[in-house]
């Protein structure tokens, strides 16, 4: 399972793991409390592997941002909480992604990235970030 099976559902807290598809949408399981819910095709859903962060030169995949955070924190939880002040969040994000576009990446986006990273770290899902490991695990599952 790679980041292409991890979802952010608009209006719902945290992240979700894609379980199966249904006729009118799909079933997802919360990474926070393992509760399952049925998600309609009409709901706004983002797949983590499709999300990117704007920089001054290009768009950096979220996977790469998570890898940068993981290197900075040695695979542990972030040293800054998602509820910190806007200035602290921006300062932290500059360490992680020095050329991120301040005009297009808001403090709320940084909060989400930090919350998502911490949730993936807590669930031991950071190894999904390494593409080689993720592809080997996917091959073994099939």
Averaged over 83-100, what is the pLDDT? Answer: 94
CA 74, CA 59: separation in Å to the nearest integer? 24
Each residue's pLDDT tens digit, 114-133 = 999 999 999 988 886 765 45
49, 4 contact by CB (below 8 A): yes
What pTM was estimated for this model as a whole? 0.86
* Two tokens, residue 107: 């403090």
- DSSP H helices, 43-85, are 62-73
- Mean pLDDT throughout 28-34? 94
Q: What angle do CA 74, 77, 78 make, to 5 degrees?
A: 90
Q: 51-141 — its CATH code?
A: 1.10.10.1650
CATH of 3-48, one of 3.30.70.260, 2.30.30.730, 3.30.750.210, 3.30.930.10: 2.30.30.730
């Amino acid at each position: 399972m790679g980041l292409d099976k991890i979802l952010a559902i608009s209006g719902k807290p945290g992240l979700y793991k894609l379980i199966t598809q249904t006729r009118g949408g799909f079933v997802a399981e919360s990474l926070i409390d393992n509760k399952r819910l049925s998600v309609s095709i009409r709901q706004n859903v983002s797949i983590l592997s499709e999300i990117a962060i704007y920089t001054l030169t290009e768009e950096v995949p979220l996977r790469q941002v998570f890898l940068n955070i993981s290197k900075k924190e040695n695979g542990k939880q972030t040293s800054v909480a998602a509820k910190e002040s806007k200035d602290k969040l921006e300062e932290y994000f500059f360490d992680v992604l020095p050329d991120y576009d301040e005009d297009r990446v808001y403090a709320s986006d940084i909060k989400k990235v930090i919350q998502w990273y911490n949730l993936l770290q807590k669930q031991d899902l950071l190894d999904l970030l390494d593409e080689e490991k993720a592809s080997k695990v996917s091959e073994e599952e099939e």
